[in-house]
Amino acid sequence: MIDQKNNQIIGSIILQNLPDNYGYPTPDSEIGWHLRRDYWGQGYITEAAKVILEYGLITLQLPIIYAVVNPDNYRSIRVTERLGMQSMGLTNKYYDTEALLFSIEA
């Protein structure tokens, strides 16, 4: 993601296969994001994630997309809620850690 005002990289957003606890890809699809702190709270991630979810669900015809979120990351939890993703509770299936799992279906 690039700030068009100054051409600075401000973050990234991904759509990829989720890795298992050993780092190997699973068939499960994940959306994820990172954003520079000085850009938090301005809607950039929500706006970009909507486009990526539409691409994944409609163009790629993925049946379901997950988001794996640190339970302490309340800002990312709010983003998943704004995107219409449903909480599936805690999981330890990915990234060799316990995290909140959210999903959205086509």
Residue type for position 77:
I
Which CATH number characterizes residue 14's domain?
A: 3.40.630.30
Phi, psi of 22 (to 5 degrees): -110, 5
Report pLDDT digits (tens) over 20-59.
Answer: 999 999 999 999 999 999 999 999 999 999 999 999 999 9
pLDDT of residue 86: 98
- pTM assigned to the model: 0.92
Residue among 11, 20, 24 at smallest CA distance from 66 = 20
pLDDT of residue 95: 94
User: Which strand (E) or helix (H) includes residue 75?
Assistant: helix 74-82
- The owner of tokens 């086509």 is 106
What's the N-to-C CA distance of the chain in angstroms? 25
* Rounded average pLDDT over 74-83: 97
Task: Tell me how many domains the chain contains.
Answer: 1
The parent domain of residue 31 ranges over 1-103
d(CA 70, CA 47): 21
pLDDT of residue 51: 98
Report pLDDT digits (tens) over 91-104.
Answer: 999 999 999 999 99
